[in-house]
């Protein structure tokens, strides 16, 4: 059984398509009698308006594009959940893509989708995009009237609404916490040095050190690339026996460091304290559990979606762009010494 259209219904009752359309929209122009019979018929036959046709006329699809670098990342998964909830509650669908940190995938997706299918985009820049600093795909989209909200990994280069995590403050908070708990030399472990948030976190770390009257030792800021062997790099770091704390800029390096430290029989947190970003399940259940900076991913998603939908719906395409910044929180666990 094929899908039924206005035309079919019109034929059934020997009325015009317009009458059927109006009836189904419960227009006052139509008599209650005809409305009733048409509505009943439609319901009985599971009539569903064709959204493509409708969107073509209305120039609104009620669909948003979401581009996320990696869904296996706990933070992004949470953001996605937040976006999804808000979108659903406001009647929007989501077309979602995983850029997999690839610039070309990101570009292709945007190209593909800014063709009428979407009312706007929510996205976080892929690592490669941030390395290349090529943002033309975003700029073009905006020029063509597609609204965009950038979250987490953003850039000054593009004029649009943004939702960021206060990474600088987060790293500052983490570093200060380590200092207060008595740590003397704190190393930073970063595999995110290519992306905006990584850089901000390093800044926050430096700021905290300076504020407490310490010097920044560049060699304590360990940037590990994708090609390098993580374990080897870490062992080299740990050969500096005076390091007594690790600030890991994301989850995975924290977990891997922890495994290594345990192998090497470090006592945690006595000999080595640890804090990491991204408050997923892992840091919570690993032992010792790891003190984390929560970035409130779900809120980031919710706010991003709201920002985008508001801009689309209220036709405030000319309204000034805003950047909302979410504060982080520190969740104390076993990998740091209590602050007395």
Partner DNA sequence: TTGAAAGCGCTAACAT
Partner DNA sequence: ATGTTAGCGCTTTCAA
Chain contacts with its own copies (rule: CB under 8 A):
1-3, 46, 48-53, 55-56, 61, 63, 71-72, 74, 77-78, 80-81, 84, 88, 93-98, 105, 111-117, 140, 143-145, 255, 258-259, 262, 281-282, 285-287
| 5: contact with DNA by CB under 7 A | yes
Query: Out of its own copies, DNA, none, which partner does residue 34 contact, by CB within 5 to 8 A per kind?
Result: DNA
Q: Are 86 and 309 in contact (CB under 8 A)?
A: yes
Which region among 5-13, 92-100, 212-220, 291-299 touches DNA (by CB under 7 A)? 5-13
| 29: contact with DNA by CB under 7 A | yes
| 36: contact with DNA by CB under 7 A | no
Min dist. Cβ of residue 48 to DNA (A): 7
Which region among 54-62, 104-112, 163-171, 210-218 touches DNA (by CB under 7 A)? 54-62
| 12: contact with DNA by CB under 7 A | no
Min dist. Cβ of residue 60 to DNA (A): 10
| 311: contact with DNA by CB under 7 A | no
Query: Out of its own copies, DNA, none, which partner does residue 318 contact, by CB within 5 to 8 A per kind?
Result: none
Min dist. Cβ of residue 74 to its own copies (A): 8
- Please identify, using beta-carbon distances, which residue of 111 and 217 lies nearer to its own copies: 111
Bin 26: left if φ > 0, else alpha if -120 < ψ < 50, else beta: left
Which region among 7-15, 190-198, 223-231, 266-274 touches DNA (by CB under 7 A)? 7-15
Min dist. Cβ of residue 95 to DNA (A): 19
| 25: contact with DNA by CB under 7 A | yes
Using CB under 7 A, list all residues that contact DNA. Answer: 3, 5-7, 14-19, 21-22, 24-25, 27-34, 48-50, 53-54, 56-59, 116
């Amino acid at each position: 059984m094929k899908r039924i259209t206005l035309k079919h219904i019109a034929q059934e009752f020997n009325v015009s398509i317009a009458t059927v359309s109006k009836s189904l929209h419960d227009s006052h122009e139509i008599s209650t009698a005809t409305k009733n019979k048409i509505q009943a018929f439609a319901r009985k036959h599971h009539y569903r308006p064709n959204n493509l046709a409708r969107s073509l006329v209305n120039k609104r699809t009620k669909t948003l594009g979401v581009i996320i670098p990696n869904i296996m990342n706990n933070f992004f998964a949470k953001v996605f959940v937040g976006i999804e909830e808000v979108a659903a509650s406001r009647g929007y669908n989501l077309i979602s893509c995983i850029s997999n940190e690839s610039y070309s995938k990101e570009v292709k997706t945007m190209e593909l989708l800014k063709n009428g299918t979407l009312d706007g985009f929510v996205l976080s820049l892929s690592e490669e995009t941030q390395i290349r600093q090529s943002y033309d795909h975003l700029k073009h989209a905006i020029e063509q009237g597609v609204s965009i909200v950038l979250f987490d990994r953003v850039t000054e280069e593009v004029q649009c609404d943004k939702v960021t995590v206060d990474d600088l403050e987060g790293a500052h908070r983490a570093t200060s916490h380590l200092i207060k708990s008595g740590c003397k030399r704190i190393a930073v472990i970063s595999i995110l040095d290519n992306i905006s948030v990584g850089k901000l976190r390093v800044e926050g770390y430096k700021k905290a050190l300076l504020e407490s009257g310490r010097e920044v030792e560049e060699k304590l800021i360990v940037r590990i690339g994708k090609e390098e062997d993580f374990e080897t790099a870490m062992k080299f770091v740990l050969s500096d026996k005076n390091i007594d704390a690790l600030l890991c800029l994301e989850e995975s390096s924290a977990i891997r460091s922890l495994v290594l430290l345990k192998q090497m029989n470090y006592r945690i947190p006595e000999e080595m304290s640890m804090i990491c970003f991204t408050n997923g399940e892992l840091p919570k259940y690993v032992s010792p559990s790891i003190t984390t900076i929560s970035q409130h991913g779900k809120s980031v998603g919710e706010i991003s979606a709201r920002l985008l939908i508001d801009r689309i719906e209220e036709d405030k395409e000319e309204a000034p762009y805003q950047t909302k910044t979410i504060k982080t929180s520190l969740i104390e666990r076993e990998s740091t010494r209590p602050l007395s």
